[in-house]
């Protein structure tokens, strides 16, 4: 894998650190191959909320825990709904965590979100983890995404940024519990994947 340059933490947005272009195209391609292998063992599912609404993203995971949601609510689970254990977090993905969060505990979960054109993610907090001193590290692959980030409380002013393939966003410290979401992806802005769409990887410590 090509060398990572963590010093490229080059922008902050409401306290979240954006390492734009941390992954070069070769590293992105290698990571996509690793994620395809994860999805072979732990296929993508369409998550359903406890209100029985289908989410527009499809999800799978790697690591000790995967975040799942179904009619009984959302939670971390040690197994894919099929019963198989989640695959290991690929080394290529783990290397990003080590580069941008060298003092954090090892990641226990890598959520894999697949955004087909038209998929979005509503504003939410990541707060199903036990230790908010540990960061959330998010990797973007494929088409550009319009990411919105706001406040700890619901509502209020927000800022938006286009996340591009190879970008890595770190939410830690005062930014750890900010509401955030993805308004839309810009289909066809990247040629990384076989067609339009976006993969987001979200790494977290769960326990």
Q: Which residues bind Mn ion (CB under 5 A)?
A: 126
SS3 state of residue 63:
strand
Question: Which DSSP symbol is given to 64?
Answer: S
Which residues, numbered 138-157, are part of the site for ligand SIN (CB under 6 A)?
138, 145, 147
* Binding residue for ligand SIN, selected from 180, 190, 196, 206, defined by CB under 6 A: 180
Q: Residue 182, interface with ligand SIN (CB under 6 A)?
A: yes
By beta-carbon proximity to ligand SIN, the closer residue of 60 and 138 is: 138
Number of H helices, E strands in the chain: 2, 13
d(CA 193, CA 48): 26
CB of 43 to ligand SIN, least distance (A): 19
d(CA 34, CA 1): 12
- The one of Mn ion, ligand SIN, none whose footprint includes residue 68, by CB under 5 to 8 A per kind, is none
Q: Residue 202, interface with ligand SIN (CB under 6 A)?
A: yes
CB of 27 to ligand SIN, least distance (A): 18
Q: Residue 28, interface with ligand SIN (CB under 6 A)?
A: no
d(CA 99, CA 87): 22
Structure tokens at 153: 């409380």
């Amino acid at each position: 894998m090509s060398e990572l340059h963590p010093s490229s933490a080059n922008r902050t947005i409401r306290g979240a650190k954006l390492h734009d272009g941390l992954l070069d195209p070769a590293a992105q391609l290698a990571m996509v191959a690793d994620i395809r292998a994860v999805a072979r063992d732990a296929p993508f599912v369409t998550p359903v909320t406890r209100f029985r609404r289908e989410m527009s993203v499809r999800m799978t995971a790697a690591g000790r825990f995967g975040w799942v949601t179904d009619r009984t609510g959302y939670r971390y689970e040690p197994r894919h709904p099929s019963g198989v254990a989640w695959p290991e977090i690929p080394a290529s993905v783990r290397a990003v965590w080590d580069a941008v969060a060298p003092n954090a505990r090892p990641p226990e979960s890598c959520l894999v979100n697949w955004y087909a054109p038209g998929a979005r993610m509503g504003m939410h907090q990541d707060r199903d983890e036990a230790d908010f001193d540990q960061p959330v590290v998010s990797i973007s692959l494929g088409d550009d995404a319009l990411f919105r980030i706001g406040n700890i409380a619901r509502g209020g002013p927000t800022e938006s940024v286009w996340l591009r393939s190879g970008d890595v966003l770190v939410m830690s410290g005062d930014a750890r519990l900010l509401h955030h979401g993805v308004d839309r992806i810009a289909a066809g802005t990247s040629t990384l994947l076989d067609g339009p769409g976006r993969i987001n990887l979200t790494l977290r410590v769960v326990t």
